[in-house]
Amino acid sequence: MNLSPNKRIALNIIVTYGRSLFALVCGLLVGRWSLLALGETDYGLSAVVGGLAVFISFINSLMAGAVGRFYAYTIGIGQKDRETALQDGRKWFNSALLIHTAGPALLLLIGYPVGLYAVQHWIGVPLERMDACIWVWRFVCINCFIGMVTVPFGSFFYAKQLLVEPTIYSMITVLLNAGMLYYMVTHPGDWLIFSAFWTCLLGVSPEIVKMIRAFYLFPECRFYAKYLWSWTRTKALLNYAGWMMFGALGAISKNQLLAILVNKQYGPNVTAAVSVANHVSGNLTIFSGGMINAFQPAIVNACGAKDFTRMRKLAFMTCKFGTMLIVFFALPVALELPKIMQVWLKTPPKYTVELCWFILAMVVIDKTTVGHQLAINANGKIALYQAVLGSILVLTCPLAWWLIVCGTGVYSVGISLVTTMAFCAWGRVFFARCLVDMSIGYWLRKIMLPLFLTITVSGGVGFLPQLVMPASLLRIFVTGVCTEIVLITLTWLFLFDRKERDVIMMKLKIYMNKAVSYTHLRAHETGR
Per-residue tens of pLDDT for the chain, all 528 residues: 555 555 656 665 666 666 666 666 666 666 667 777 777 677 777 777 776 666 666 667 767 777 777 777 777 765 566 676 777 778 888 888 888 888 778 877 887 887 777 777 776 677 777 888 888 888 888 888 888 888 888 888 877 767 778 878 888 888 888 888 888 878 887 778 888 888 889 888 988 998 888 888 888 888 877 777 778 888 888 777 777 777 766 676 666 677 777 777 777 777 777 777 777 766 666 666 666 666 777 787 777 777 788 888 888 988 888 888 888 888 998 898 888 888 877 777 788 888 888 888 988 998 999 889 888 888 878 888 888 888 888 888 888 888 888 878 788 888 888 898 999 999 999 999 998 889 999 999 989 999 999 999 999 999 999 888 888 889 999 999 999 999 989 988 888 877 777 766 766 666 566 555 655 555 555 555
Alpha helix ranges (H) inside 52-81: 54-77
Q: Are 451 and 328 in contact (CB under 8 A)?
A: no
Please give the pLDDT value at position 12: 57
The Cα 12–Cα 314 span in angstroms is 14
What's the pLDDT at 405?
83
Residue type, 268: P
pLDDT at 55: 65
Question: Strand, coil or helix: what is 119?
Answer: helix
Rounded CA separation 462/448 (Å): 21
pLDDT at site 426: 92
H or E element, residue 528: none
Query: What pLDDT is attached to residue 433?
Result: 92
Spatial separation of the C-alpha atoms in residues 50 and 203, rounded to whole Å: 13
Based on its alpha-carbon atoms, the radius of gyration of the chain, rounded to whole angstroms, reads 24
Nearest CA-CA partner of 428 in 438, 419, 418, 414: 438
Question: How much of the chain is helix, strand and coil, in % rounded to 5?
Answer: 85, 0, 15
Residue 234 CA: distances (Å) to CA of 293, 351, 352: 25, 47, 45
SS3 437: coil
What pLDDT score was predicted for residue 180? 83
User: What was the pLDDT predicted at 483?
Assistant: 92
Instruction: Name the CA dihedral angle for 232, 53, 373, 421, rounded to a multiple of 10 degrees.
Output: -140
230: phi > 0 → left, psi -120 to 50 → alpha, else beta; which?
beta
Alpha-carbon span 477 to 428, nearest angstrom: 37
Helix (H) or strand (E) segment spanning residue 395: none
What is the pLDDT at residue 227? 77
Closest among 202, 196, 61, 204 to 138, alpha carbons compared: 196
What pLDDT was estimated at residue 190? 79
State residue 265's pLDDT score: 73
Phi-psi label, residue 2: left if phi above 0, alpha if psi -120 to 50, beta otherwise: beta
Rounded Cα distance between 215 and 153, Å, is 7
